[in-house]
């Protein structure tokens, strides 16, 4: 069983990337489970024809953990992708990471981890104990960072590198960084900046995903790009990402940057402007 996790800043496109990755993988005849590890519970929506499935935490609250069956928390989506949403506490109450912990404990209890590929879609703004659980407990063995060339996106990716490096100090841990996915915001020299960042942390860019209106069109039709426009160039990019992940053998313990060095790198790729006239 291959277990991978996509981490990145909130809003950077992890769920879109994860869903299209899962769709590309299942189209190869692999059995796939996608687990959304974000309280927004929208990771699997495009795999479920736009339906927001019940979350594990909601089901535990409604029925009690001991009364749940696998059909209460695992739902079948696009071409058989099995979809799970961890969920979170009520707003302003409790720890969002708790939903991830409860989800994994329940799925293990129900013997639900039985796929060729498991894709974890994990919020990476704050790598607290709960959000780091896929790495700490050996669930996610391969970590991929989703980032753009925006400073805060790179900052979140760099923080995740710190978490991987710290967790990997334990010789029993198997999580490693598999690469960086550039989800473009159409910034000047964005691919070069993300590539430089990947190189500095000791890794590589495994996919450059261009910004495209096709994503919004597909999602407004409650579909992934893979389903909505299978012959598009963007669909081929997601398929190439799936191929790159399936054949990847280059996994590293990253070397996170100091914030000053990260900012210096980002500044070096900024276009020259005159602040008096260019705004």
User: Distance (Å, rounded) from C-alpha 5 to C-alpha 14?
Assistant: 10
Please check whether residue 15 is in contact with residue 121, taking contact to mean a CB–CB distance below 8 angstroms. yes
How deeply is 64 buried, as exposed, middle or buried, from its count of CB atoms within 10 A (0-12, 13-18, 19+)?
exposed
User: Distance (Å, rounded) from C-alpha 108 to C-alpha 90?
Assistant: 24
- Residue 109 among the catalytic residues: no
Please check whether residue 142 is in contact with residue 4, taking contact to mean a CB–CB distance below 8 angstroms. yes
As given in the structure block, the two tokens for residue 198 are 């990947």
Residue of 58, 72, 116, 125 marked catalytic? 125
- Residue 125 among the catalytic residues: yes
- Residue 255 among the catalytic residues: no
- Residue 71 among the catalytic residues: no
Please check whether residue 124 is in contact with residue 156, taking contact to mean a CB–CB distance below 8 angstroms. yes
Strand partners, 130: none
Residue of 2, 40, 137, 204 marked catalytic? 40
- The catalytic site residues sit at 9, 14, 40, 125
């Amino acid at each position: 069983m291959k277990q991978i996790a996509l981490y990145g800043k909130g809003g950077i496109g992890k769920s879109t990337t994860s869903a299209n990755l899962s769709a590309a993988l299942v189209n190869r005849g692999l059995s796939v489970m996608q687990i959304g590890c974000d309280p927004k519970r929208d990771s699997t929506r495009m795999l479920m024809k736009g339906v927001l499935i019940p979350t594990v935490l909601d089901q535990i609250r409604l029925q009690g953990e001991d009364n749940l069956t696998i059909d209460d928390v695992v739902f079948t989506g696009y071409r058989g992708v099995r979809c799970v949403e961890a969920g979170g506490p009520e707003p302003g109450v409790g720890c969002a990471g708790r939903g991830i912990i409860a989800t994994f404990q329940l799925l293990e209890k129900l013997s639900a981890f039985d796929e060729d590929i498991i894709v974890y879609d994990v919020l990476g703004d704050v790598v607290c104990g709960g959000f780091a659980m896929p790495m700490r407990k050996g669930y996610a063995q391969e970590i991929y960072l989703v980032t753009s060339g925006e400073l805060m996106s790179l900052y979140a990716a760099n923080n995740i590198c710190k978490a991987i490096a710290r967790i990997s100090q334990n010789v029993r841990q198997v999580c490693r960084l598999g690469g960086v996915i550039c989800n473009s915001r159409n910034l000047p020299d964005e691919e070069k900046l993300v590539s430089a960042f990947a190189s500095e942390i000791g890794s590589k860019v495994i996919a450059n995903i261009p910004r495209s209106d096709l994503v919004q069109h597909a999602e407004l039709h409650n579909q992934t790009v893979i389903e909505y426009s299978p012959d598009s160039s963007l669909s081929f990019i997601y398929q190439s990402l799936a191929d790159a992940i399936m054949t990847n053998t280059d996994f590293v313990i990253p070397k996170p940057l100091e914030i000053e060095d990260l900012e210096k790198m980002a500044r070096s790729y900024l276009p020259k402007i005159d602040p008096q006239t260019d705004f």
